[in-house]
Structure 1
C-alpha cells in the first residue's frame, strides 16, 4: 500500500494491568471507507483515541499523513463525531446553522465573524448531509438521526480529509439507518473524505464500506470488502468469541 493516510504499526496499549490492544498493524489508504467492527470492550474506542492523539501507544508507532503522530499538528485535517445523539441536551438553544457554524470557531477565532466564503461552507456542509429543510430549526427539536447528521456537518464544515465516526447510528431509528449509511457513502465518494466507521452492525457494514477491520484486542482481520464477504460465520464467531449470524439490511 502506497503512502497510507493512517498507519498504525505494531501498537499495543493497556490500562493498568489490562491489555486492551496488542500488536495492532493497520494501514488505511486515502479515500477509503473503513468499517471497524468488534464486540464491546474490544478496544475500538481506545484505538480511535490513539489515532486522535488523545492517548499515547505504549508500544509501536502511529503515523498520520506520513508524519509521526508525536509531530503532527494539523488536527483540522481530521474530523470526529462521537455518540452524541442519545445524550444530547434537547434544550440547547441553537439552530442547525449555528451548530454547524461552531465547527469553524477554531479557524475564525472566538470573537470574530464569518466571511461570505465561510457562510457558504456552512450551507454546503448542511446540504451535504441532507439537512437543508431544517437549517433554521432548533437542534433540540430534531430526532436523534437528524442530530447526528448535524454533528457530521459540523465536523466536515472545516473540510477535513479524514472523518472518524464512533457508533454514529446510536439513537437513529432502524428505518433510517440505511439512509444514514447512504449519506456517509456520498461523503466518501463525492467529497473524497476518508471515513473510519466504528459499528456493531455487522450486517450493514459491507453495504457501503471499501474495507473492514475486525478488532478484539488483536486485529483478527483487515482487508477489502470482497475479502470480508468471503468469511464464514465460524470465522467471525472466532473473532468475536461468541456465535455471530451475518444479516444484510440492504433493501431494494
Structure 2
C-alpha cells in the first residue's frame, strides 16, 4: 500500500444475487489526484462508489481510506459526497444558499449548537471556492441545476473535506455550462489540493482537466494518467465499451 494513497482498493468483487458487478478491482488513488471513472451503464461505477462510502457492505476484497481499513474508518468529515440525486432537490424547500451550505457543518458543530462567526466565514469560503458567494442569500430553489450543484459541492467542502466524490455531477447542468463547471472542479483540485473522484460519461469534455482515468466495466480495463488514456485508440475503447464510442477531446488553448 503506497503511503500517499487516499483510497486503496484490493481484489474487490461484488455481486447482486447471481450478477457479478465488480470483479477483482485493484485501484490506488493518490492524494492530490483528480480521477475520472468512466464506463458504460451498468458497469459497476455507482456500486464502487457505494462500497467506498460504506453504503454497501464489502463481500470480497478490501478498501482502505486514508490508510485505514474501511470497517474501522470513522473520520467521514474528511470525505465530501455529491450524489446524482442532488439535482432532484425539492425546489420548494425554503432555505437560502447560505443555510444549505451551513447544514454541512452540523456533524462538526452538532445539530442544535449555535453557529459562530468562524462558521459563517467557512460557509463564505466554501461558496467562494465554487463561485457562488454572490448567491448566498438567494433561495436554493431559485437557482439553475448547475448552480444548485455548485452549492451542494460547497456544502460537501465546508467541513474541510480532503476528498470529494462526485457521481455524474453534470446531470441537469446546461450543456453550455458544463465546461465552466469542470473548470471549477479543476481549480478545486489544483489550487486547493482537494483529491477528486468523479464518475462521468463526459470523458471527452473532462479529459484535459483530470489527472487520471479509470475505465470500469465489471473489470478495471485501464487505470493511468490522462495522457496515457488519450493515446488509447478508438478500437481499444470500443473493445472496452462493447460498442462504438465517439471520443471528443476538448482542449482549450
For Structure 1 versus Structure 2, the TM-score category normalised by the shorter chain is: over 0.9
Aligned residue in 2 for 1:105: 106
Aligned residue in 1 for 2:135: 134
Aligned residue in 2 for 1:200: 201
Q: Which runs of 5+ in 2 are unaligned?
A: none
1:88-167 correspondence runs (5 A): 88-167=89-168
Aligned residue in 2 for 1:39: 40
Q: Counterparts of 1:132 and 1:58 in 2: how far apart (Å)?
A: 43
Whether the aligned pair in 1 keeps the contact of 2:87 and 2:149 (CA below 8 Å) is no
Aligned residue in 2 for 1:168: 169
Q: Counterparts of 1:84 and 1:126 in 2: how far apart (Å)?
A: 20
Aligned residue in 1 for 2:65: 64
Deviates more, 1:2-11 or 1:32-41: 2-11
Alpha-carbon deviations, 1:133-182, whole Å to 9, x = none?
A: 21100010000000000000000000111000000000000000000000
Deviates more, 1:239-248 or 1:34-43: 239-248
Deviates more, 1:107-116 or 1:142-151: 107-116
Alpha-carbon deviations, 1:112-136, whole Å to 9, x = none?
A: 1111211100010001100112110
Q: Which runs of 5+ in 1 are unaligned?
A: none
SS at 1:118's partner residue? helix
SS at 2:159's partner residue? coil
Query: Is it true that 1:15 corresponds to 2:31 in the alignment?
Result: no
SS at 1:70's partner residue? helix
Q: TM-score, normalised by structure 2?
A: 0.97
Deviation at 1:250, TM superposition (A): 4.3
Q: TM-score, normalised by structure 1?
A: 0.97
Whether the aligned pair in 2 keeps the contact of 1:178 and 1:249 (CA below 8 Å) is no
SS at 2:169's partner residue? coil
